[in-house]
Structure 1
């Protein structure tokens, strides 16, 4: 964000430094395991996240160390108890599993459940591979060197066969001998998709459903103090007649497996299978806690906490038990504790309800509105000073509801979120799975992406219905960062037909699935919305309502199992699915989707100036990937040309090839670097304007969620703003600026003007705070050589939580053809910068070609501690300065993708260590080593 020369610049410095995570591990045994991630055996695995950060990002240091299984099994739950009373968990995660593929049905023919069985003589490899749990078979096969990297060039085509095989997982383990006399359950938190489980050669059962955990009583089968053999047959993927890719029939999608991996416009066809969540053994004294549900309510300065504990017991343990609980505040201080007697019955679980009160609670707020204090509840079930089981739950205290939008038609659903009595304008994003091989747990990747979301002022992520019920790690981070979650059930449109099945068998299936899924996430304060699915429509392309049997079923389950959350039938919702300029003023645009492309130098602005949705939950602009994606995943001979004649571009982004559109703006482009620059500017410009236009309609429009934040697969071009490697594209930075708490924006009718034509724009000021601000705005029109052509300004009273029309500017453009920069700035009464924004306009043809031929300038770049200084010492505007870390280095800059007028200096804080390349479009590149 540049400034007018007279304004102070110190406001750009961050007050605190945030160090991004690093990942390191050592591999035990012979050889090395090379793939997308390295893992250690369970007894030697140590994962640390070196995370030092500032309060403004809301991240606290993490240190996660996995000790040996035996140590975990003997960990005391309460140090005040005798060593006879303990809750035990034996983790079976790690990279010491074995894995082998078989043809469908071959498992039973070969009797592969037997302990002595091995894949010797079985094609294609005749031996075990090492495998990781949690994980997936694609990543394990890659680690074993059996396949080429599926993300490079066309390699994924050679890997599609993996999901057509059955896969045998095998693990040998020994549980402590002192577990004898305990009741032991084998728990799987998630297997993708269908499996059979055998322990010591005995069939335990079969399970279907990747999102639903399951358990088996293995007390009588385990060998205590001796080796045990666990075998899991993961069956080949469900066929396309029950799981559809992007193009197909939603009515034929009859199982809840992530559909995106069957091929979508932003990823290839590469279907994961495997044990994708944790596996463990749970030992108790015959009674256990199945679930703890925390329901906070706030009234009159007191939080009333309803705790519902679901308790089970064996027939031999159906006696009086003691249920104890303790609550710690966000600082770790004990605020409540107590206990009560419960009588368990082995015929059915006991639903025990306990009501607690916390006076003057610290309330949880979304990002940008306040803090995110988290309380901790511990519930223990025991008797005679023995603890049989324990559950710990982190929770936040807040109120949440949806209220009608201002000026909404009477038939509209309420789309304005209200948290703790304050309306929230949603500054959202659509979240795709962070990895196509999603089975591998990557805490540092979640940390990186969600920290970038917080840094971009994001307060809500829509977890799209063709992806995942996101992991617990995702929700834990969102709780800490103040990022609300809109979670969709696994339904999505399919292009040809877009309504889910209605028959009784399907309704029974989704009830069984959802009844288990909802309790898994309902304790998270970040979860605010359950939605029936993505773009569910009838044959007229009208969004479905709760009248559809499948959505009615899901709504009833949410009302039963999580009634404190908001329910939406689908997204989009309302009388029309798509945003349309022709429908402006009709009241028919409620929650709408689209468009997902840049519409052109005039049409894009006319469109976003007139549409009037109540909520805009999907829209976007396409843009090329960062150069590092091409260098990592695309062979040099395949990187150009970026059009339909190039099979690599078709494979890595066929929906988003836009060479003709881009060359209409910039003229003929003959090299990849120029194409990337031009394409990324178009994405940043188009997305910023769409966000700002919706923000100007604040409270009639209650929020926006652009498509999309991230990508699971490296695309050459797509609508994402973070690339597969986790590096922001320029659109991230301009969207971040459009979301800033106090923001100045320009509204205009077009990008291209005629020489000598009267240029005009409206000045708007946006404010998310609760206190009024008196400010001065200015707009300077500058030529690329730094000449000032016009200047405007005035004072404005910035109303809290509002968008204010601050003024009108107009002037006659110079008669020469060229590109002009309008620099809009907002200053407080002391002259400090509140917001700055840059807009480029053209009187040339092709319109933006002068940017590629701009006069050169010179940057002076230096660093001091964790700050990078950049000064434009030349005579022309430094256009679109970027700070790009080297590949593999996760650094976080205070700002990026801005212009510097001649003589201007920026001091930017940078979190993390590494090397950054600093350059403008019209300057040489400089490297800074932090």
Structure 2
């Protein structure tokens, strides 16, 4: 069960009265361009029937540093303008006040800015297409704020906190690999079957893949793989149709299947051979692309806007878009993925890392230099 917290909040820059603001919103679009932190607050109510369940706050995106308080007490923090994050809520049912303090650091011009910046904000921290460019005003009209959705989620026994999906072709068949991150609440391990179902909308055929495993309390990183025989493949608009399957991730602990996630996926493989020929599903393809920055203020990057931009790219004879020097996750990224998939356009990210597992540490420090929180990010790169 989810409670959407989008709507009217109150905000204050610390030196003025509280004023209403509609969230999510990049604060420049609401007429703000602060130097220091901005506080956002609103009342929330945790339902009585959530008793006995965990409660979690989900943030789709806050730019840049966020400190989260409940009833005046700190309960979590996060650094980074793009990645979604969660905060567990320690309170019980009833009325509470939620406060989010957001800060976007500004570097001193001529020393740190523009060449030795401290914040990892991509094109939103410094870019020649930003208002002010490389000059003394290059950090104005900030992209800061609670730009993504905010929700309260009741935690049941199982929750999916991440899902990777990849595909490789072997002859006429496809090998798919899914890497769900399944969280188990409680203090005892559980034996369960975790699986995925791929349904082909063309003919209604269904392919089930699964793994049987012990789940430990906390987050379990799993891998589910298998062969899909003679699949309908995804193609760019100049080579075919953008066929997509309906993917469902489920779990069965002996009490029947429970759905954890559902989304469309395309089965495709793109590779570059030794002669620098790019191949989509084994077929040579001439890539014609462009960088894409949908907006300098991510809260206005709606589904309709992204779909219109991708349609313009197709009309310009492009078959690839590169999300340039930023990450739009999850709302804007999902919007972009679905729009490019539906319009039959390839998408590319801003960097390529060698295959492997990576761990990044970010530390949020208070005004006195004391550590407020340390965040660890784990991600995997597959071929």
Which is greater in Rg? 1
In structure 1, which of residues 380, 387, 391 is the aligned counterpart of residue 250 of structure 2?
Answer: 380
- Does the 8 Å contact 1:243/1:257 carry over to 2? no
**1:291 Cα offset (Å):** 1.9
- Does the 8 Å contact 1:198/1:205 carry over to 2? yes
1 CA distance for matches of 2:92 and 2:26?
A: 26
Counterparts of residues 820-859 of structure 1 (less than 5 Å): none
Aligned to 2:307: 447
**1:472 Cα offset (Å):** 1.9
- Does the 8 Å contact 1:212/1:513 carry over to 2? no
Aligned to 1:258: 122
1 CA distance for matches of 2:247 and 2:110?
A: 41
Aligned to 1:323: 194
Q: Secondary structure at the match of 1:306?
A: strand
Question: Does the alignment pair 1:457 with 2:317?
Answer: yes
In structure 2, which of residues 88, 100, 107 is the aligned counterpart of residue 232 of structure 1?
Answer: 100
Question: Does the alignment pair 1:302 with 2:170?
Answer: no
Aligned to 1:140: 30
Greater share of strand:
2
Question: Does the alignment pair 1:291 with 2:159?
Answer: no
**1:168 Cα offset (Å):** 0.9
Question: Does the alignment pair 1:426 with 2:287?
Answer: yes
Question: Does the alignment pair 1:166 with 2:3?
Answer: no
In structure 2, which of residues 85, 91, 110 is the aligned counterpart of residue 214 of structure 1?
Answer: 85
1 CA distance for matches of 2:111 and 2:285?
A: 37
2 CA distance for matches of 1:286 and 1:332?
A: 34
1:502-545: per-residue Cα shift (whole Å, max 9, x none)? xxxx98559x99955xx6xxxxxxxxxxxxxxxxxxxxxxxxxx
Aligned to 2:135: none
In structure 2, which of residues 128, 151, 154 is the aligned counterpart of residue 280 of structure 1?
Answer: 151
2 CA distance for matches of 1:370 and 1:244?
A: 49
- Does the 8 Å contact 2:28/2:143 carry over to 1? yes
- Does the 8 Å contact 2:209/2:224 carry over to 1? no
Question: Does the alignment pair 1:128 with 2:40?
Answer: no
- Does the 8 Å contact 1:286/1:316 carry over to 2? no
Structure 2 residues not aligned, in runs of 5+: 133-137, 353-358, 364-373
Aligned to 2:223: 353
1 CA distance for matches of 2:256 and 2:112?
A: 51
Q: TM-score, length-normalised on structure 1?
A: 0.36
Aligned to 2:355: none
2 CA distance for matches of 1:316 and 1:214?
A: 23
2 CA distance for matches of 1:429 and 1:338?
A: 37
1:649-701: per-residue Cα shift (whole Å, max 9, x none)? xxxxxxxxxxxxxxxxxxxxxxxxxxxxxxxxxxxxxxxxxxxxxxxxxxxxx
Question: Does the alignment pair 1:563 with 2:382?
Answer: yes
Q: Secondary structure at the match of 2:300?
A: coil
In structure 2, which of residues 142, 150, 171 is the aligned counterpart of residue 271 of structure 1?
Answer: 142
1:45-95: per-residue Cα shift (whole Å, max 9, x none)? xxxxxxxxxxxxxxxxxxxxxxxxxxxxxxxxxxxxxxxxxxx23322x22
- Does the 8 Å contact 1:327/1:336 carry over to 2? yes
Counterparts of residues 635-654 of structure 1 (less than 5 Å): none
Aligned to 2:298: 438
Counterparts of residues 878-917 of structure 1 (less than 5 Å): none
1 CA distance for matches of 2:52 and 2:66?
A: 29
2 CA distance for matches of 1:213 and 1:255?
A: 17
Q: TM-score, length-normalised on structure 2?
A: 0.82
Structure 2 vs 1, CA of residues 342 and 185 (structure 1 numbering), >3 Å: closer, same or farther? farther
- Does the 8 Å contact 2:167/2:175 carry over to 1? yes
- Does the 8 Å contact 2:302/2:335 carry over to 1? no
- Does the 8 Å contact 1:260/1:467 carry over to 2? no
1:681-733: per-residue Cα shift (whole Å, max 9, x none)? xxxxxxxxxxxxxxxxxxxxxxxxxxxxxxxxxxxxxxxxxxxxxxxxxxxxx
- Does the 8 Å contact 1:243/1:259 carry over to 2? no
Aligned to 2:366: none
Aligned to 1:46: none
**1:265 Cα offset (Å):** 4.5
**1:213 Cα offset (Å):** 2.0
Counterparts of residues 463-862 of structure 1 (less than 5 Å): 463-465=323-325, 471-489=333-351, 561-564=380-383
**1:449 Cα offset (Å):** 1.1
Greater share of helix:
1
Counterparts of residues 77-116 of structure 1 (less than 5 Å): 88-92=1-5, 94-102=6-14
Structure 1 residues not aligned, in runs of 5+: 1-87, 103-121, 142-158, 406-413, 491-505, 520-560, 565-930
1 CA distance for matches of 2:50 and 2:342?
A: 37
Q: Secondary structure at the match of 1:195?
A: strand
1 CA distance for matches of 2:270 and 2:87?
A: 38
Question: Does the alignment pair 1:395 with 2:265?
Answer: yes
Structure 2 vs 1, CA of residues 467 and 350 (structure 1 numbering), >3 Å: closer, same or farther? closer
1 CA distance for matches of 2:376 and 2:325?
A: 13
Question: Does the alignment pair 1:183 with 2:57?
Answer: no
1:167-194: per-residue Cα shift (whole Å, max 9, x none)? 1111223243222222222121221000
**1:97 Cα offset (Å):** 1.8
2 CA distance for matches of 1:132 and 1:436?
A: 17
